[in-house]
Chain A
Amino acid sequence: MSVVVRDETAIELQKDEIGRAPLILGDKQTFSTVTDTVAGMTEKKPPKAWPLLLGLAFSVLMILGASLTRLVGWGTGTWGLNHPVGWAWDITGFVFWIGIGHAGTLISAILFLFRQKWRTSINRAAEAMTIFAVMAAGVYPAFHVGRVWLLYWVFPVPNQMQVWPNFKSPLLWDVFAVSTYMTVSILFWYVGLVPDLATLRDRATTKTKQMVLGIFALGWRGSHRHWLNYEKAYLILAGLSTPLVLSVHTIVSFDFAVSVIPGWHTTIFPPYFVAGAVFSGFAMVMTLMIIVRKVYNLQHIVTIRHLENMNKIMLATGSMVGYAYAMEFFIAWYSGNPYEKFTFINRAFGPYSWAYWTMVSCNVISPQFFWFKKIRTSIPIMFVLTIFINIGMWFERFVIIVTSLHRDFVPSSWGYFRPTIIDISTFVGTFGLFFFMFLLFIRFLPAIAIGEVKGVMPAADPHAHDDHGPEGDGHDAHGSDDKHDKHDDGDAEAAHG
């Protein structure tokens, strides 16, 4: 059904006035083919790799279960934590996963507000990834505490003792920031799913599917009023999510910045963490989408242009992160604070220098290759680079957390952290959780926003052959009445086909 466009001349012909390749490739693409392609992912027999991958992910998820059982059953000491190093792989894993989640929100919300149409092909998967990443992240703050069964004390639960959480604590801010983020992300994702769920419902062949999808489609019929309300809700949620992209990682960075520990106590952290989060999130989206578009033959929807745009964002955020690394060193020297100075020298040349240089090579050097268009558009190379960036960003958090803690003020209490097998298996296990959820998502929900993709297709543009019209915004398929007709057409077609 799907058409793989490899014909360079065809792409050339379809380029717009400033030479950008079209968002959806293939001259035979219609609303119907898009619906068929995306809905087909959930309706047809999955590729052979899917059950294998699901089984693998489930096995790894079970490793997480076993690790956490061991952790809660025996105590925090099953991890390698010790007295100078009270946090290591746990909070590293937490910040790593939360950071990954940021790409989804950025793509969905900020790019939406900036009218970046190219987001439509990837936003659904990215949003799903956000939710699963936050779930994986949530494992850590929940289970890293010594007494998991009392975790609910971090919530302001009214109680007869009138004991409240400590509102001065950045960890409490974290609780609110992350739970808000999770809630808004789920809402945003779900609202976006509603029209597509209706499409699936209309195409469903069994009664059960119709019932279930019918319930979650909230009675969507694609009427003009539905679309009008939908667009407004989506816009509002995008508006709500946008500050979250900045706030969540800012607050996560406060866990460190608000402390007094050299290497943590620094004002650069909020922007540095946000840039790092977007950087790592895009890398993870890329890693996943490169695989998904190949397995499900979505090359015409998730095009090279999409991937290249994302690479450009990684180049930008990666450079910001590199700048932050350099600035940290500069400030350590410029501040004249001997403890600060020592911490940074120790990072680069101390016992954890191997981690530091791994981080620098992965995060600062590897994105610089994206200056070259050849590399930016080469799928194998960008895949390898995104893996490097994923590794590097994990190391960034590890370096910040562990190297600052292991040698702080009093030299007599300096120590060294070594992970245990449970540290490693817990972290590996969170990947199991993440991929298990992601594979289920790919299989049972439309992995690409069908309605939105249609909106950016030439057929959706009423002035497709006009040059720049006078109204500017009116050109956008979104929000114009014409567009809704097209949507209706598409749905009708789908329903009939």
Chain B
Amino acid sequence: MKRLPIIYAKDLSGRDYWRSLGEREGSPEFRASLAREFPEGASELPEELKQEVEATGPDGGKVDVTRRGFLGVMGAAAALASFAGCRRPEEKIIPYARPPEEIIPGKPLYYATAMPFYGTTIGLLVESHEGRPTKIEGNPAHPDSRGATTPYIQATVLDMYDPDRSATPLQKNAGRSWDEAIVALRELGKTLAANGGKSLAIISDYHRSPTLELALTDLKKAMPSAQIVRYEPFGASNGRAGTKIAFGKPMDAVHELGKAKVIVSLDADLFHAETSPIKASRGWAEGREIPEGEGKKPDLNRLYVAESAYSITGASADHRLRVPSGQVSQIAAALADVSKEASSAGVAGVAGSLPEKAKKWVAAVLKDLVTRAPGTTLVVAGQKQPPAVHALVALINQALGNIGQTVRYVPAFNEGPEGASAMVELGKSIASKAVDTVIVLAGNPAFDAPADANMATGLAGVTTLHLGSHVDETGALAAWHIPKAHILEGWNDLVAEDGTYSVVQPLIAPLYGGKTEAELVRVLLNQPAKGHDLVRATAAMVLGEADFEKKWRRLLHSGAMELAEAKVEAPTLAIADVLASAKSIAAPQGFEIVFYPDFHAWDGRFANNGWLQELPDSMTKLTWTNVAWLSPNTAKELGVADGDMVNVTVNGATAKLPAAIVPGQAEKSVAVMCGSGRRTTGRVGTKVGFDTYPLRKAGGFDFASGTVAKAGEVYAVARTQEHFATEGRPFVREGTVAEFIKNPEFVKEMVEEGPPLESLWSPIEYTGHRWGLTINLNTCTGCMTCMIACQAENNIPVVGEDGVRRSRSMHWIRVDRYFEGTAEEPRAIVQPLPCQQCENAPCESVCPVGATTHSPEGLNDMAYNRCIGTRYCANNCPFKVRRFNFFNYNTDVPEQRKMQFNPDVTVRFRGVMEKCTFCVQRINKAKIAAKKEGSDRVKDGVIVTACQQACPTGAITFGDLADEKSAVAKSQKHPVAYKLLEELNIHPRVSYLAKIKNPNPELGES
């Protein structure tokens, strides 16, 4: 823009005064200078630079780089750059002057999607703020999750923003552009197709994606000799092998715990690790309702668990039998007595060597099973148990009339070589050079494959193509590493065991351009590889072309669609084969080593996830490492103390890891956690835990006999809880059904009534809402999902292993674990403990600056900005639920990580106290919405706290105590409701419902 020259008025005197010689001469330079703001050269780039700018400018066109022009371009660039930060699936950048439909800045949107995990499908509903997914919830419309989640699902969102994810394709660990990679992949595809895939092997996981299955089918067509191996370190392949014996073809069992009155778990950790934990816990919890009111007798289900390591399922059981995992098959054989055929074949004979205690237990369980109506019981075999046990369990369930009622056997999603033995076979093929190209679509075989498959050396010797989110052990030795799209980034589809079809729809464009498995396969096949189109095409096949657009949109909207043809009739049981396989059952010998997925890293995939690493293990409360669980007696025999390093030796392979002494662990059985100790991973997971996969071989993949010896070193384990005895204090209260029937108020009588209490301060009068929370200990399994949900919702930092050692973990809600009884045969109980929002809060009166005050609705509010950090409130909190920022835990937060933060919650600075506020941001959002609708009250059930939302068993109820009809007000009046430390006159707003067990009278209370 040029400046207009200043016009001088003509001198009226008629004389023509000139200001300079230049003006007098009227030279062109002078005329030009009049229009210029600055002298020549001052506002422009030097000539040579200008040329450079012009050459590289848009369209190579002329850029008039003036000061103003430069600022204009820079301003636009800055504005565009800020738009680039809002990553959306759209490919064009549209200015917010014409915003995308439905986007209102500051208002989150929710998208339905799904996630494959546990070998099943979890329906999700993901919260998205301005294009950034921030929080994962369960999809209430999906029959599996019904709105609930598990810790791993909650933590997945953090994985997506992991700054250590691989950003570009790598060829032999050297960065390549996507174009280069795609060209190379297409070339590779051509080469492979040319020889029919003769030397090609593909490693996949137990996926349930029709789109991927179609792609692999097409690949098989193009490369018929290619072999596809499916492998996960912890999966249901034993179950499929067992059902193959029983029914002639591999099948998956779908359990309906909600319909069962007696549930027998044979070494199955139903609520944490196996099949569908959300559905299983919910089903179990449905049968644990304690009715209110006169004369109503509770009709609870009864859970029996036989297991070696104390799982949360065992802790929830009415009767837990502590046996080595190797002995569970004998128990299955003994229970097979319910079947006439098995009984006459003498299958139970092998159970003769059971110890007395187990015999008594089995007898009681048998009696309980056969006296119930057919189809109202359920026996479940654990994934660790050998195929023969799964086959026997199918027989038992059939004899009890359960098939089709409490358990359905559905065809496996796909067939083919799978599991540890298939990996060992593949390892042999690699070693014999029969395979020279391996495509790893999922998993990390160089780390987690069976030790005898020698994958780490094998994959290094062949052309390995690795699709993965991180450069992990496999990626590091791969010829090509291709970044994988996170489930929140790429298109996919999934079908659950019950036939529910879901679409995995992306919430954000891939942060690093990652590809999905199906996309990669299509690239290799030289076919169009746009995830969206691939999934849409599959959906068109699944849903039918008729009215497709409408169905597609409905599917994307609700996230789940039940498929008509998914219903299958009960298969026929090959009893003779089952009985033949049962002959292999034998009594265990010596010391057994049982392998479990690490609570934090799972099979290793979550090793770089800080939330999960710091989430205390349900039973041991350990964080940041994997351990070997030893029973107190076994530890004593070995001379091992808690935290001592032990050498675990199986078949000549040795792994060193810390020992944890766990009450309730079976004797002569050591539970070894696998998945930690990653060699190649991001900054969080490095040097965390100990690699135990070398112990796992295809023979003895789930449990093997081995030895344990003290290594002589001590590891400082980081626990969030050090003391597991209640000291006789009535914090967790429990009783039995019989006690409840005798006196429904028995829980309240567990505390002596003291003198009437008076407060120093006048009580607050509440006129509006009175928020309250009820936690039902009867259905809480201690799965820890609430802790992670709270962490994700409230931007709670991670303090690291050393921070936990110094007991500075920051969780606002914690799940306390208590044991009672003997160390060998303890009973465990859990108690989630958020802030109790005391009405007479001891923390409030002691703050010198009034940073924590009482809200008119009874919340114990925390004004972070006002807090100076005296920590007096935390000292005076009887529940010790206040958390102090000892350091600035949010310093140096990578940009990617920042995108996960919930914008509705402040990120706290160091020196500030923080605490649970019953998700006040959610309360306020609902209040604003209610106000806009002209109501001064929020309806019951509209506000859901993060912990409540995530809970698989619905053990948490939140609402308005002032509304007598609200669920929470009703639950707090339940006869078994009680509050903590009422004798301190603090009036907590949180009530607990006591745990009511339903023991079998024949076994007594155990």
Contact = CB atoms under 8 A, between A and B. Distances in A.
B937 interface: no
Interface stretch (B115-123, B249-257, B533-541, B720-728): B720-728
A153 B871 contact: no
B846 A75 contact: no
B653 interface: no
A83 B870 contact: no
A175 B848 CA distance: 9
Contact of B846 (A164, A171, A338): A171
Contacts of B842: 259-260
A76 B911 contact: yes
User: Is the interface on chain A under 10, 10 to 19, 20 to 34, or 35 or more residues?
Assistant: 35 or more
A171 B870 contact: yes
Given A76-B884, A76-B886, A169 B869 contact: no
B814 interface: yes
A261 interface: yes
B866 A81 contact: no
A82 B879 CA distance: 15
Interface string A403-439: 0010111111111100000000000000000000000
A87 B884 CA distance: 12
A52 interface: no
A81 B872 contact: no
Contact of B723 (A81, A82, A83, A411): A411
Interface stretch (B23-31, B352-360, B451-459, B802-810): B802-810
Interface in B782-839: 806-809, 814, 816-818, 831, 833
B871 A87 contact: yes
Interface in B847-863: 847-850
B879 A83 contact: no
A405 to B, nearest CB: 6
A147 B911 contact: yes
Interface string B682-705: 000000000000000000000000
A246 interface: no
Contacts of B816: 410, 412-413
Contact of B880 (A164, A338, A410): A410
A169 B845 contact: yes
Contacts of B727: 342, 411
Interface string B719-741: 00111111111010000000000
A317 to B, nearest CB: 28
Interface residues of B, number: 55
A82 B808 contact: yes
B622 to A, nearest CB: 14
A146 interface: yes
Interface in A28-80: 74-77, 80
B38 interface: no
Contacts of A172: 848
A163 B884 contact: no
Contacts of B831: 412
Q: Which one of B866, B870, B981 has the highest number of Cβ atoms from chain A below 10 Å of its Cβ? A: B870
Interface in B863-878: 866-872, 874-876, 878
A84 B882 CA distance: 9
Contacts of A219: none
Contacts of B887: 74-77
B8 interface: no
B845 A145 contact: no
B911 A169 contact: no
B868 A412 contact: no
Contacts of B883: 83
B234 to A, nearest CB: 29
A66 B433 CA distance: 65
Contact of B911 (A75, A82, A170): A75
A144 interface: yes
- The prevalent SS among residues of B at the interface is loop
Contact of B981 (A168, A407, A409): A409
A154 interface: yes
A413 B913 CA distance: 17
Q: Which one of B726, B876, B912 has the highest number of Cβ atoms from chain A below 10 Å of its Cβ? A: B876
B848 A171 contact: yes
Q: Which one of A77, A150, A172, A407 has the highest number of Cβ atoms from chain B below 10 Å of its Cβ? A: A77
A169 B814 contact: no
A271 interface: no
Contact of B884 (A146, A170, A261): A146
B880 A144 contact: no
B868 A154 contact: yes
B620 to A, nearest CB: 13
B885 interface: yes
Contacts of A413: 721, 814, 816, 879-880
Contact of B866 (A87, A163, A258): A163
A76 B909 CA distance: 12
Nearest to B760: A168
A146 B910 contact: yes
A479 interface: no
Interface in A125-152: 144-148, 150-151
B847 A166 contact: yes
Interface string A81-100: 11110110000000000000
B96 interface: no
Interface string B210-230: 000000000000000000000
Nearest to B731: A410
B828 to A, nearest CB: 13
A415 B807 contact: yes
A260 B876 contact: yes
Nearest to A172: B848
A146 B872 contact: no
Given A151-B868, A260-B842, A412 B814 contact: yes
B723 A261 contact: no
B35 interface: no
B761 interface: yes
B363 to A, nearest CB: 37
A416 B848 CA distance: 26
Given A86-B874, A166-B845, A261-B875, A146 B869 contact: yes
A165 interface: yes
B888 interface: yes
B820 to A, nearest CB: 12
Given A75-B910, A83-B807, A412 B871 contact: no
Nearest to A407: B723
A83 B880 contact: yes
B929 interface: no
Q: Which one of A84, A87, A415 has the highest number of Cβ atoms from chain B below 10 Å of its Cβ? A: A415
Given A83-B883, A412-B723, A168 B874 contact: no
Nearest to B886: A77
B808 A83 contact: yes
B885 to A, nearest CB: 7
B984 interface: yes
Given A154-B848, A409-B981, A410-B731, A81 B869 contact: no
A261 B868 contact: no
A259 to B, nearest CB: 5
A264 to B, nearest CB: 8
A148 B869 CA distance: 9
B846 A259 contact: yes
B875 A405 contact: yes
A77 B884 CA distance: 9
Given A83-B884, A410-B878, A412-B817, 20 more contacts: A76-B911, A77-B808, A82-B808, A146-B885, A146-B911, A147-B869, A150-B868, A163-B866, A168-B845, A259-B876, A405-B875, A410-B879, A411-B724, A412-B724, A412-B816, A412-B818, A412-B833, A413-B879, A413-B880, A415-B807
8 contacts: A146-B868, A146-B911, A166-B845, A169-B850, A260-B984, A409-B878, A409-B879, A412-B724
4 A-B pairs with the lowest CB-CB distances in the bound complex, closest first:
A146-B869, A146-B911, A77-B886, A86-B871
Interface of A: 74-77, 80-84, 86-87, 144-148, 150-151, 153-154, 163-166, 168-172, 175, 255, 258-261, 338-339, 342, 405, 407-416
